[in-house]
Structure 1
Amino acid sequence: MGAIRLANVEKWFGDLQVIKGIDLEVEDGEFVIFVGPSGCGKSTLLRLIAGLEEISRGGIEIDGKDVTAEPPSGRGLSMVFQSYALYPHMTVRENVGFGLKTAGMPKAEIDQKVNAAADVLKLDDYMERRPKALSGGQRQRVAIGRAIVREPSAFLFDEPLSNLDAALRVEMRFEIARLHKVLGTTMIYVTHDQVEAMTLADKIVVLQGGVIEQVGSPRDLYERPDNLFVAQFIGSPKMNILPCAVTADRFELEGNGSGLYPYAGAAALPVKLGIRPEHIQVVESGEGHAQGTVVVAEYLGADTYLYVAIDGLETILVRTDGAEEIAEGRRIGLVFDETRLHFFDADGNSIRS
C-alpha cells in the first residue's frame, strides 16, 4: 500500500513561506510527478513527505496513518536523489544490500532481495563492479536498486536524471517507466523537465510559487490548461500566446486586424489567445488568419520549427513537417485550428465554453 494524503501543508523558513497550504491525494500505485520551475517548492514538498523537512502546518497521512511527526525511518518510504551517493569502495552488490546489512537482516535474505532487484534493473552483469567502472545510467540504476530492496510503500525521486546526458535520460525514462509497471508501487517524482513529466506520469502536479496551479493527467494539462502558466509550461515547444479582442460575436488578433472564428459568449471576455505550434498550418502568403515573415527556420529532421514575425504582433513559433522546406525571409500565411484554440481572461485564467 502507498496512498499518500497531504492536508493544508505549509512550510515556512523564518518569515519566508515556501509551501502555501497544499492539499493533495496520491492513490496507491500512482506515478505522480511534481513539476515546475526552479524555486517553485517541488523538492521541498517531496522532502516534507519524506520527513527530511519538518512541516510548519498541516498534516501528512500514509495509508491512513498520520505520519506528520514520524521520522523518515518510520514512514516506509525510499528516496532516490539526484546524486547517486554510492560507496566507491563497495561493489554493486554491496552497495545495493548495504542498508539491509546495517539493519541486521540475515545474509541469505539480503542475497535474495539483492538478486531480485538486480534482475528487475538488469544489473546482473555488473554486480561485482565498483561504481567507477559504471556509466551514469548504471550508477543511477544501482541507487534505485538500493531503494527497491527495502520494499517501500512508495518511492520518492528527486530529479534523478538531471546528471545524465540527453541519450541516457531517454534510456532511464524508459527504465523507470518499466520499473513502475513491474513493481506497481506508488512513485512520486520531482523534475523541472516537463518532457519527463509528460512521458512518465499518471498524474502531474504543476507547482508555482509554493501553490498547486493544476493537477491532472498529461493529456488534461496539455489539452485543458487551467491558466496561462500551465498552458505555457506544459508542452514542448510551448504554446504561443497572442493578444486578442472580441467584437460582437467574433474575435480578432489585436494589432493585426485579422478577424478569426465566431466567439461563443462567456462570462469573461478573452484578452489572450493561445495556440500551440503544432496546431498552426502554413499556407500561401495572403491567405489564412494571419500573415508573417519567417525569421528563423530550425530543421530538426522530422520537424522544422519556424519563428514567424506576425504583422503587427510579436514572433510566434510554428511546428511544420521537416520534409517541407521553407526558407528564411519567406512571406507566409497561417491558419489556426479552430478546434484547438485557448482563451484566457485578464487574470490569466482559462475561459471554457
Structure 2
Amino acid sequence: MGSIHLKNVEKWFGEVQVIKGVDLDINDGEFVVFVGPSGCGKSTLLRMIGGLEDTSRGAIEINGNDVTDQPPSKRGLAMVFQSYALYPHMSVRDNMGFSLKTAGASKQEQKEKVDHAAAVLKLETYLDRRPKDLSGGQRQRVAIGRSIVRDPTAFLFDEPLSNLDAALRVEMRHEIAKLHQSLKATMIYVTHDQVEAMTLADKIVVLEYGVIAQVGSPRDLYENPANLFVAQFIGSPKMNIMPASARSGGYDLPGHRGDDYPVNAATAHLGIRPEHITIGPAGSGQCDAKVEVTEFLGADTFLLCDGGELGQINVRINGDSDKQVGDIIGLNFDRDRVRTFNADGLAVSN
C-alpha cells in the first residue's frame, strides 16, 4: 500500500505562506506529477510529504496513519534528487546497498536486493564500477536503485532529470515510466517540464502560488483546463487565448468576424489549441492573421501569426505547407475544440 492524503496542509516561512491549504488524495500505485512555474511550491510540498520540511498546519497521512510530526526515517519513503549524491569511493553495488548495510541487513539480503534492483535498471554490468566511470544517466539510475532496495511505501522524485542533456532526459524518462509499470509503486514526481508531466503522469497536480489550480489526467488538463493559468501552462506551444464576447447566437472577436457558434453569456476569453486551427484564404474562418514567423519542425510547421487586437496566434499545420512570412491567411477554429473563460479567467461551459 502507498496511499498518501494531504489535509489542508500549509507551510509558512516566517510571515510568508508558501503552501496555502492544499488538499490532495494520492492513491496506491499512482504516478502523480507536481508541475508549475518556479516558486509555485511544488518542491516544498514534496519535501513536506517526505518529512524534510515541517508542516505548519494541516495533516499528512500515509496508508491511513498520521505522519505529520514523524521524521523522514519513519515515513517509509524514498527520495531521488537532482543531485545523485553517490559516494565516489564506493562501487555501484556498495552505493546501492549502503542503506541496507547501515540498517543491519545480512550480506545475503543486501546482495539479493541489489541484484534485483540492478536487473530492473539494467545495471548488472556496472556493479563493480565507481560513479566517476558512469554517465549521467547511469548515475541517476544508481540513485534510483538505491531507493528501490529499500522497498519504500512510495518514491518521491525532485526534478531528477534536470542535470541531464536532452537525449539522456528522454532515455531516463522512458526508464522511469517502465520502472513504474514494473514496480506498480506510488510515485510523486516534481518537474517544470511539461513533456515529462504529460508523458509520465497518471494524474497531474498544477500548482500556482502555493494553491492547486487543477488536478486531473494529462488529457483532462490539456483538453479541459479549469482556468486561463492551466490553459496557458499545460501544452507546448500553449493554448491561444484571445478576447471575446458573447452575442445572440454566437460570439464576437474584436476587429474580426467571430462566429455564429453560441457560447456562454459570461464569455470574456476564447481559447483554442494551435493544432485545432485550420488555415484558408483571407476572409475565411473566424479571423484573419498575418504570418510573422514560420518554424519548420519536419512533420509539423508552426506559424506565428499577428492577429491584430487578438494578439499573437500560433497555428500548427502540416510540415509540407508553403506558407511564407507576410502571407495573410484565414483562421478557422474547430468548434468542438473551442474553450471559453469568464472575466475572472475561469472556464465556462458553452
TM-score by length of 2: 0.98
Q: Which residue matches 1:258? A: 257
Q: Which residue matches 2:221? A: 221
Alignment of 1:54 onto 2:54: yes
Q: Which residue matches 1:42? A: 42
CA drift of 1:313 comes to 2.9
> Would you say the 8 A contact 1:299–1:322 is kept in 2?
yes
Q: Which residue matches 1:20? A: 20
Cα separation, 2, equivalents of 1:66 and 1:340: 43
Farther-moved stretch of structure 1 (243-252 vs 152-161): 243-252
Q: Which residue matches 2:306? A: 309
Cα separation, 1, equivalents of 2:105 and 2:225: 49
Cα separation, 1, equivalents of 2:309 and 2:27: 49
Q: Which residue matches 2:174? A: 174
After superposition, the C-alpha distances for 1:75-125 in whole angstroms (9 at most, x for unaligned) are 000000010001111111111111111111111110000000000000011
Aligned to 2:244, the other structure's residue is in SS state: strand
Closer/same/farther in 2, CA of residues 311 and 69 from structure 1, 3 Å limit: closer
Alignment of 1:295 onto 2:292: yes
Structure 1: gaps spanning 5 or more residues: none
Give 1:318-337 correspondences, 5 Å limit.
Answer: 318-337=315-334
Aligned residues: 350
Alignment of 1:183 onto 2:183: yes
Q: Which residue matches 1:67? A: 67
Cα separation, 2, equivalents of 1:265 and 1:51: 45
Cα separation, 1, equivalents of 2:274 and 2:237: 7
Cα separation, 1, equivalents of 2:28 and 2:213: 23
Q: Which residue matches 1:138? A: 138
After superposition, the C-alpha distances for 1:251-278 in whole angstroms (9 at most, x for unaligned) are 0111x23131321445xx1110001111
Closer/same/farther in 2, CA of residues 206 and 67 from structure 1, 3 Å limit: same
Aligned to 2:314, the other structure's residue is in SS state: strand
Alignment of 1:341 onto 2:323: no
Closer/same/farther in 2, CA of residues 239 and 264 from structure 1, 3 Å limit: closer
- What is the identity, as a one-letter code, of the residue corresponding to 2:299? A
Q: Which residue matches 1:249? A: 249
After superposition, the C-alpha distances for 1:319-341 in whole angstroms (9 at most, x for unaligned) are 11112221111121111101000
Closer/same/farther in 2, CA of residues 257 and 290 from structure 1, 3 Å limit: closer
Q: Which residue matches 2:163? A: 163
Cα separation, 2, equivalents of 1:264 and 1:294: 28
Farther-moved stretch of structure 1 (305-314 vs 332-341): 305-314
CA drift of 1:35 comes to 0.5
- What is the identity, as a one-letter code, of the residue corresponding to 2:102? T
After superposition, the C-alpha distances for 1:284-342 in whole angstroms (9 at most, x for unaligned) are 22322211111000111111111011244312111111122211111211111010001
Detail structure 1 runs of 4+ shifted over 6 Å in the superposition. none
Farther-moved stretch of structure 1 (192-201 vs 312-321): 312-321
Cα separation, 2, equivalents of 1:234 and 1:315: 18
- The CA RMSD over aligned residues, in Å, is 1.0
- What is the identity, as a one-letter code, of the residue corresponding to 2:175? E
- What is the identity, as a one-letter code, of the residue corresponding to 1:310? G
CA drift of 1:245 comes to 1.6
Aligned to 1:34, the other structure's residue is in SS state: strand
Cα separation, 2, equivalents of 1:265 and 1:76: 49
Aligned to 1:262, the other structure's residue is in SS state: coil
Farther-moved stretch of structure 1 (256-265 vs 328-337): 256-265
After superposition, the C-alpha distances for 1:224-251 in whole angstroms (9 at most, x for unaligned) are 1110001111111100000012222210
> Would you say the 8 A contact 1:290–1:311 is kept in 2?
no
> Would you say the 8 A contact 1:261–1:338 is kept in 2?
no
Closer/same/farther in 2, CA of residues 324 and 257 from structure 1, 3 Å limit: closer
Cα separation, 2, equivalents of 1:199 and 1:120: 20
Structure 2: gaps spanning 5 or more residues: none
Give 1:109-128 correspondences, 5 Å limit.
Answer: 109-128=109-128
Q: Which residue matches 1:107? A: 107
> Would you say the 8 A contact 1:249–1:265 is kept in 2?
no
- What is the identity, as a one-letter code, of the residue corresponding to 1:213? A
